[in-house]
Chains A and B, each alone.
Chain A
Amino acid sequence: MANVITASKLTLAYDGGRKEIIKNASFSVHKGEFVFITGPSGSGKSTLLKALYGALKPKTGTLSVGGLDMGRISRSKLLELRTHLGIVFQDYKLINEWTVEKNVVLPLIIAGYGLDIQQTQAKKLLRHVKLTEQAERFPLELSGGEQQRVGVARALSKNPFLILADEPTGNLDEFSSNVIWDLMENACDQLGSTVVVVTHRIPTIFNIPYRHFIIENRGIYEVR
């Protein structure tokens, strides 16, 4: 099966390379897999995710996402790659001046889809995340759980080949958490997207097969 992510002797660092967070890690993720990455706070989970969407360059080693070398990728290629990713952040990263509906279709706006497609997709996704009534509201008028559901809907709006999620259910109520996990499972199982979720703990009820990596002592190890 083709690899969507391949890391070989990957070292990630901050402060101009002085502070190493992950060292000599090698792993790969296949197309259509669901992967959980866990680890204690400050272990480098979010750092790894940043490297996966190109906000952090590898210090040494190689990291390939969708066949592109993230260490050598040009800015324009990186932007092009990102239009095919779905990213969910712990702090939601919604555009507060935009309505919920407009936030959801941001990837479609960037890709240049017409208004009709945007509206149809927004309606469908907002129904999935159970926020149909909130379409015309603004993010700051919503609860944390609702905002995160908007974030997940946005990540799924363009059927990305890879979904990256950073603590998508951290501090959320049970209802919102369940909605989000259902959507993630569906994206992987029904749409064939590869999903990488960085989280403190794996949900107790999870209905599809998954792989589990743990980040410990600057290394990445597969535990399941």
Chain B
Amino acid sequence: MKSVKDHLMFLLPLLAILISVEFVIVFNRVTQNSEEKLRQSYSILVVSEKVMSPKDFRRIDSHIVSATPIDKKTIAKEIARGMQNAADAEILASLPHFYNLHLDRYLSRPEVEKIRQKLLAAPGIKKVETFGESLRAKYNLFLFLKVIFWSFVGLMSLVSLFLVVKQMEVWQLAHRERMQIMEIFGAPMLLRSGVLFRMGIIDALLATLLVIGIFMVLRYYYAPISGIEILIDRQELLFQTQDGVILAAIALGIVVITVFSVAIRSREERE
């Protein structure tokens, strides 16, 4: 019973830290993915009197990565709907050139405005339209959630670390005498703290497996029925193999630091 309690007192805070870490990883992945999606769906429409190449646009601003001409025939057809066939060609001839511009990343409103002004100042460009307002609201919500989330995770990790330190003190009290006797008989630090290492490593692996389990369930069972578009489309955002490696490394790192500090604190001081 005492042994189970000993394990739980270390395992639970470790579990909380690992869950926080995994949440951070997942959240970062989801926000990065969303930012990329926003960037891809965000475009600037340019109306120009003359034919322009992507190079011409890049010369105006380096954030512009591509410029796709919009097929004028479709526009002309739309305009000429219900009119005589001859009107189609006339409309086509009189239409200016339309371009859809894509940017290298999701830019802030002032940055986009700057690009807009540069484009309008360029010879031949008659009109520039940006379509970012609805996306921007989404993006700002993301940023807000990010701040809230980081604050919560930071606090949770701090409390958990505090509990790990407390448990370390309990271990020190429980094992100091044994470790000191072993030291009198010449046992090196690794041997003296062997029991703690074994206990810590078991807890670290258990905590890692539990967190992996939780996130696997989220990935395979929760995501498909979550109703959250991004999670339904990309379930792999919730857990990836390398996450397990990161979690195990962090858990083992905490164990090594904790056990070594107990061992060093219990070391005999030569007077």
A residues contacting B by CB (< 8 A) are 14, 53-57, 76, 79-85, 87, 93-98, 106-107, 109-110, 154
Contact A82 B182 (CB under 8 A): no
Asked if B181 is at the interface of the complex by the 8 Å CB criterion, the answer is yes
**Residues of the B chain whose Cβ atoms lie less than 8 Å from the Cβ of A106:** 181-182, 185
Contact B187 A79 (CB under 8 A): yes
**Residues of the A chain whose Cβ atoms lie less than 8 Å from the Cβ of B186:** 79-85, 107, 110
Contact B271 A56 (CB under 8 A): yes
Measured between alpha carbons, how far is A87 from B184 in the docked complex, in Å? 8
Asked if B183 is at the interface of the complex by the 8 Å CB criterion, the answer is yes
Asked if B188 is at the interface of the complex by the 8 Å CB criterion, the answer is yes
Interface residues of B in 177-228 (CB under 8 A from A): 177-178, 181-188, 191
B residues contacting A by CB (< 8 A) are 177-178, 181-188, 191, 268, 270-271
Contact A93 B271 (CB under 8 A): no
**Beyond known contacts A14-B271, A55-B268: 20 more, CB 8 A cutoff:** A53-B184, A55-B270, A57-B270, A57-B271, A79-B187, A81-B186, A82-B186, A83-B186, A84-B186, A85-B186, A93-B181, A94-B181, A95-B177, A95-B178, A106-B181, A106-B185, A110-B182, A110-B185, A110-B187, A110-B191
Contact A95 B270 (CB under 8 A): no
Measured between alpha carbons, how far is A14 from B270 in the docked complex, in Å? 11
**Residues of the B chain whose Cβ atoms lie less than 8 Å from the Cβ of A80:** 186
**Residues of the B chain whose Cβ atoms lie less than 8 Å from the Cβ of A109:** 191
State the Cβ distance, B88 to closest chain A Cβ, in Å: 93
Q: A95-B178, A97-B178 are in contact. Are A107 and B185 (CB under 8 A)?
A: yes
**Residues of the B chain whose Cβ atoms lie less than 8 Å from the Cβ of A53:** 184
The 8 Å CB contact of B188, one of A14, A79, A81, A107, is A79
The 8 Å CB contact of A82, one of B177, B184, B191, is B184
Contact B185 A56 (CB under 8 A): no
Q: 13 A-B Cβ contacts within 8 A?
A: A55-B268, A55-B270, A56-B270, A57-B271, A81-B186, A82-B184, A83-B185, A83-B186, A87-B185, A95-B182, A106-B181, A106-B182, A107-B185
State the Cβ distance, A113 to closest chain B Cβ, in Å: 13
Measured between alpha carbons, how far is A81 from B184 in the docked complex, in Å? 10
State the Cβ distance, A220 to closest chain B Cβ, in Å: 19
Measured between alpha carbons, how far is A81 from B270 in the docked complex, in Å? 15
The 8 Å CB contact of B184, one of A14, A93, A98, is A93
In chain B, what residue has the closest Cβ to A89?
A: B184
In chain B, what residue has the closest Cβ to A17?
A: B271
Measured between alpha carbons, how far is A55 from B178 in the docked complex, in Å? 16
Measured between alpha carbons, how far is A110 from B189 in the docked complex, in Å? 11
In chain B, what residue has the closest Cβ to A154?
A: B185
State the Cβ distance, B181 to closest chain A Cβ, in Å: 5
State the Cβ distance, A183 to closest chain B Cβ, in Å: 18
In chain B, what residue has the closest Cβ to A82?
A: B186
**Residues of the B chain whose Cβ atoms lie less than 8 Å from the Cβ of A84:** 186
State the Cβ distance, B262 to closest chain A Cβ, in Å: 16
The 8 closest A-B pairs by CB, nearest first: A82-B186, A83-B186, A79-B186, A110-B187, A95-B178, A56-B271, A93-B181, A107-B185
